């Protein structure tokens, strides 16, 4: 589900029907190439850090959405990708895109909840999650997904983090309401090491990764508002989405996604 989960948390206080809110978010995001910040270069850079690895690795993409990173992974290596998301519509889009890209034979779409993944222990060489781990909580995700990896396997995960020591009051107030677990890179890396992961590398996602998500999403908001004129729940979804887009643009130097490349020690 990716970044939509953050938007859901922001509108919960304004609307009562969570199922309707999710439906509106899915509608707003349907057809987008990316459902959260990301970039093919980021995916390839992280994959290159996962060495050594098998020539044809088994990869689990958790919270795959419509599969931008799933396709990139399949095209960047000879492995097989099991792409998991809880929303059937997104998984169907992912399957269609895999066929168009000519990699359907190496991408297995799967509808499942990331908190209850239906796979045996030690099934994968690489677990991947861009913009979705916070739905479980970063530490919980590191613990829950670890058994799925073979010894020496890799976990690549992106997580929202503070950059450096700057803490703009507006951003602090916003994330205190919407993601109280937000920490800086040092704290996230420390948590990973404490849980038995070897840190092979980490880096901040570039501005392009946010534009890939936010620019097309912003373009959709006027039509979304028109379709749902007079609908308070839809207005809350649109407002929350626009608030995040504007805040992240103002404070991109202070807060954003980091990519962590971790190895099961």
CA 50 – CA 47 distance, rounded (Å)? 5
CA–CA distance, 182 with 161 (Å, rounded to integer): 6
* Residues 112-146: tens digit of each pLDDT: 999 999 999 999 999 999 999 999 999 999 999 99
Stretch 224-246: mean pLDDT: 96
Query: Given a cut of 60, is residue 244 above it in pLDDT?
Result: yes
pLDDT of residue 3: 52
Helix/strand/coil for 257: strand
Q: Give the CATH class of 4-111+120-212+241-264.
A: alpha beta
Q: Is 208 exposed, middle or buried (0-12, 13-18, 19+ CB in 10 A)?
A: middle
Q: What whole-number percentage of the chain has pLDDT above 90? A: 91
Q: Is the pLDDT of residue 12 over 50?
A: no
On whether the CB atoms of residues 45 and 260 are closer than 8 A, the answer is no
The residue extents of the domains of the chain are 4-111+120-212+241-264
* CA 250-252-253 angle, 5° bins: 110
- SS3 of 118-131: the string is CCCCCCEEEEEECC
d(CA 58, CA 140): 22
Contacts of 129 (CB under 8 A, 6+ apart): 61, 62, 63, 114, 141, 145, 155, 156, 157, 158
Mean pLDDT computed over 88-102? 96
Contacts of 184 (CB under 8 A, 6+ apart): 161, 162, 163, 164
- β-bridge partners, 85: 111
The model's pLDDT over 195-211, given as tens digits with 9 standing for 90+, comes to 999 999 999 999 999 99
pLDDT at residue 17 in the model: 77
DSSP 36-91: SS--HHHHHHHHHHS-S--SS-EEEEET-TT-HHHHHHHHHSS-EEEEEES-HHHH
pLDDT the model gives residue 1:
47
Q: Tens of pLDDT along 162-197?
A: 998 989 999 999 999 999 999 999 999 999 999 999
Gyration radius from the chain CA atoms: 18
d(CA 214, CA 220) in angstroms, rounded, equals 10
């Amino acid at each position: 589900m990716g970044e939509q989960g953050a938007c859901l948390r922001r509108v919960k206080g304004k609307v009562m029907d969570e199922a309707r809110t999710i439906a509106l978010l899915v509608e707003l995001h349907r057809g987008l190439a990316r459902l959260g910040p990301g970039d093919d270069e980021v995916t390839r850079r992280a994959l290159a850090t996962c060495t050594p690895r098998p020539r044809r690795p088994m990869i689990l993409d958790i919270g795959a959405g419509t599969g931008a990173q799933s396709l990139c992974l399949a095209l960047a290596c000879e492995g097989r990708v099991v792409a998991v998301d809880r929303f059937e519509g997104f998984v169907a889009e992912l399957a269609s895109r895999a066929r168009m890209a000519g990699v359907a034979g190496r991408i297995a779409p799967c509808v499942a909840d990331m908190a209850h993944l239906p796979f045996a222990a030690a099934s994968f060489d690489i677990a991947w999650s861009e913009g979705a781990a916070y739905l479980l909580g970063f530490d919980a995700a590191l613990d829950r997904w670890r058994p799925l990896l073979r010894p020496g396997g890799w976990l690549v995960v992106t997580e929202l983090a503070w950059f450096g020591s700057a803490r703009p009051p507006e951003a602090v107030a916003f994330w205190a309401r919407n993601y109280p677990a937000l920490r800086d890179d040092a704290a996230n890396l420390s948590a990973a090491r404490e849980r038995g992961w070897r840190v092979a590398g980490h880096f901040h996602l570039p501005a392009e990764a946010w534009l890939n998500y936010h620019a097309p999403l912003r373009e959709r908001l006027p039509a979304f508002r028109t379709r749902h004129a007079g609908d308070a729940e839809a207005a809350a979804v649109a407002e929350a989405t626009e608030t995040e887009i504007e805040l992240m643009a103002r404070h991109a130097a202070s807060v954003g996604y980091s990519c962590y490349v971790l190895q099961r020690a």
